[in-house]
Amino acid sequence: MKIVFNGKERQVREGQTLEGLCEELGIKPEGAAAACSGEVVPKGQWKDFALKDGMEIDVFSLVAGG
């Protein structure tokens, strides 16, 4: 199935989770935040958040500076 990841189409396997996808891409969850169709996916839900065909996923870095 296909999702839109950070604005670009991307093939993901059936049943893949948000956490699994980030792991595959080398994105550390503790350094990132994510949203699905414009709504933030709370960090505690990444593990069970199943990706579905056509979903729009945004993953972005948490930033530290001040």
Partner 1 sequence: MRYERPRLLDGYDKLDGILAHKSVAILGAGGLGGLCAYLLAGAGLKSLTVADDDTVEDSNLHRQVMFCADDIGKIKSLCLKREIGKLDPEVQVRAFTDRVDEGNFADFAKGADLVMDLTDNVRTRLLASRMCLELKKDFVHASVAAGTGMFCAFRFSDPAFVREHGCYECMAGAQAKPAFRGITGPYAETISAEAAQLAMECFMGTAPWGELFVHDMERRTIRRFKLKRDPACPECTRYLDSIKE
Binding region for partner 1 (CB under 8 A): 28-31, 33, 35, 38-45, 58, 60-66
Shortest CB 23 distance to partner 1, Å? 15
Cβ distance to partner 1 smaller for residue 13 or 60: 60
Looking at the DSSP bridge assignments, the partners of residue 32 are 61
Shortest CB 28 distance to partner 1, Å? 8
What is the rounded CA–CA span in Å between residue 56 and residue 64? 26
How would you label 33-58 residue by residue, b for 16+ Cβ within 10 Å and e otherwise? bbebeeeebeeeebeebebeeebebb
Cβ distance to partner 1 smaller for residue 12 or 41: 41
